[in-house]
Chains A and B, each alone.
Chain A
């Protein structure tokens, strides 16, 4: 039997040919060739809204050959907040995690993967983001997280059309007509106060909380900002003892007289209950209360109209609460995570989020505020038209801004604003309230 020997020349040629063939051949990927990705999404209030995010993720995963697992984590009892804190401590967990309140990106800035490469094309495509999203999501020009559509919300007024007309002589539909710009020049803090008084006398007080949970804090934040009242300015200087803060406190003291007596103990469910039970003429909330009323109290829902915030001496501010999707630095599949977040930020994906949530979810981008869902939702038709601030006639803001985010987070979560207004309204001297707030702010400056 003859034995053919392989020459050096033949070996080199064979190797070169097989290498070329290997490189030129089409890449056939296996089922999950691009690895695994675990996602912790916020568990949506709106029934079936989670299905939209699951569908979007699965579509992307099938295309990109990534094995995904999604956990829907509730924000009830701050579970999502606890998850983020635990994963930050353990430096292990989901690749992508939603943040429940907008402060998280700054709180964990060292542990988050910068996402400029996601945000730059997304902004080009969807339009500029508002100032609050930049304030909360960016640090030194670096994007810490991607603004998430699911969960982001404006907590503006949701008024009862009939009660506002009857007791305050205000036609909210005329002031904020569906399909056209607001005619709300007279919708000022003074008008708001008079309306609050009239509705209270009519037996339907405005349902504004004075508790220590986000809904109460957000309203206080917008009212303070409309007077130009800042406890700490953008440079980090304490500015508690200013006329603007005094004016805001005086205004709140007058307003509290027309609010329900138990408002100091309200949580985020209280205002919803207040509206749905038919006891109040106005609350400050995203359309979740209206959505529940559609099911449980249709006669209330068909009288609800979501619209803009009243303007103060320094402008018209509406409480905005953006949610974010962030990628941990310790994620093992950052590229896939970024690819997914880009997919979730496509206009078509955003539209599906908004549709699935019945208009509750709010994209952060300028070109995405006129989707048909908000125009079509009913009853009554157009009730949500002005919810996404389509004419930019109000500044979307968050309480405690423009203080540096890590300090503002303390002011926000310790409910310093609502505590101040309560202290003063319950009889404490103005200067004592200001001194207390100043001392609190000094404590918040701790690094």
Chain B
């Protein structure tokens, strides 16, 4: 509003000073200042995100020797590969299962932590965040040792109950179970902290009003807590879905995609095809295939968030 008033005031001046004043106005605008302030970050993103993204798009259109443009040839080749569809299926199973469990565990534990009185709550919050703050490459190595069928603590403990030894990483089912378990262990604290923040922002008056209306625990949860947390749940789920789909380190360290490629994800298979097997264009194609899947998920989840925003 202020910008417009100032500009109107300068309309009467001669052309030359008007030009200079116009530039000054442009530079003085809040939006221009904001643009300049964010410019370093925009350039950084362009350099580290946009350039690699477009470069991988370019790579995906080359032949194996990277000497010829083949258009969408690599994609059509992939669509005919059995292993590719297995990887698509597995990535979906891995990401969806892991995100559902992370959200569920995060939600439940967030409620527990929320109900712990002040000082103790800080300690619990700190402790529960530990899995999330340890670099996953390190913590996954510890898990690798725990899953070792011959020398691990898991099988040793199970042996007292007459169970096992379980080939945690050698059997298709258990290998999938193990990689999902580690991902849930690593990612649940993120949900916990986000949900805890959301819970703290729910006004107590709403619960008091619900209590006066005679609402039970479940009704308070369904009609007060969940609606108030919906946006946070949606955004957290989307964010986690993106990160989980693109997971690399956990699978790479635990199983390298085995046994029989049954734990292979987009990122690990892209690495195997692109780097290990020296077929970078095909590897780029595999990793790019995450984009449409995540884009569809993002559209659905964010559309819902916008709708609710408008209602508010």
Interface residues of A (CB under 8 A from B): 77-78, 81-82, 85, 89, 103-104, 107-108, 110, 210-213, 260-267, 273-274, 277, 279, 406, 409-410, 413-415, 419, 422-423, 436, 439-440, 443, 446-447
Contact = CB atoms under 8 A, between A and B. Distances in A.
Nearest to A444: B277
Contacts of B65: 110, 447
Contacts of A406: 278
Nearest to A274: B150
Contacts of A415: 258
A396 to B, nearest CB: 23
Nearest to B147: A265
A213 B170 contact: no
B148 to A, nearest CB: 8
Contact of B260 (A89, A110, A422): A422
B170 A81 contact: no
Contact of B278 (A264, A266, A409): A409
A263 B170 contact: yes
Contacts of B170: 261-266
Interface stretch (B77-85, B188-196, B299-307): B77-85
B276 interface: yes
Contacts of A264: 167, 170-171, 258-260
6 contacts: A85-B280, A261-B170, A262-B150, A413-B272, A413-B277, A440-B83
A414 B277 contact: yes
Top-4 shortest CB links A-B: A265-B169, A265-B170, A107-B278, A262-B170
A263 B258 CA distance: 11
Interface residues of B, number: 35
Interface string B243-278: 000000000100111111100000000011101111
Contacts of B282: 446
Interface of A, helix, strand, loop or mixed by DSSP: helix
A213 B276 CA distance: 11
B82 A439 contact: yes
A406 B149 CA distance: 36
A264 B173 CA distance: 13
B86 to A, nearest CB: 11
Query: Which of A279, A406, A409, A443 has the most chain B CB atoms closer than 10 A to its own CB?
Result: A443
B258 A265 contact: yes
Contacts of B167: 261-262, 264-265
Given A265-B149, A413-B277, 4 more contacts: A213-B256, A265-B169, A409-B277, A413-B272
Nearest to B175: A265
A47 B171 CA distance: 35
Nearest to B55: A89
Contacts of A409: 277-278
Contacts of A107: 278
A439 B271 CA distance: 21
A273 B261 CA distance: 24
A443 B81 CA distance: 8
A212 B258 contact: yes
Interface string B164-203: 0101111100010000000000000000000000000000
B63 interface: yes
A205 to B, nearest CB: 11
A267 B276 contact: no
Contacts of A211: 256, 258-259
A410 B273 CA distance: 8
Contacts of B149: 260-262, 265
Nearest to B82: A439
B63 A447 contact: yes
Contact of A447 (B64, B82, B255): B64
B259 A410 contact: no
Nearest to B144: A267
Contact of A422 (B82, B175, B259, B278): B259
B63 to A, nearest CB: 6
B83 A262 contact: no
Contacts of B218: none
B160 interface: no
A21 B3 CA distance: 79
Interface in B41-92: 63-65, 77, 81-83
Given A261-B149, A447-B63, A212 B77 contact: no
Query: Which of B83, B150, B260, B261 has the most chain A CB atoms closer than 10 A to its own CB?
Result: B260
Contacts of B165: 261
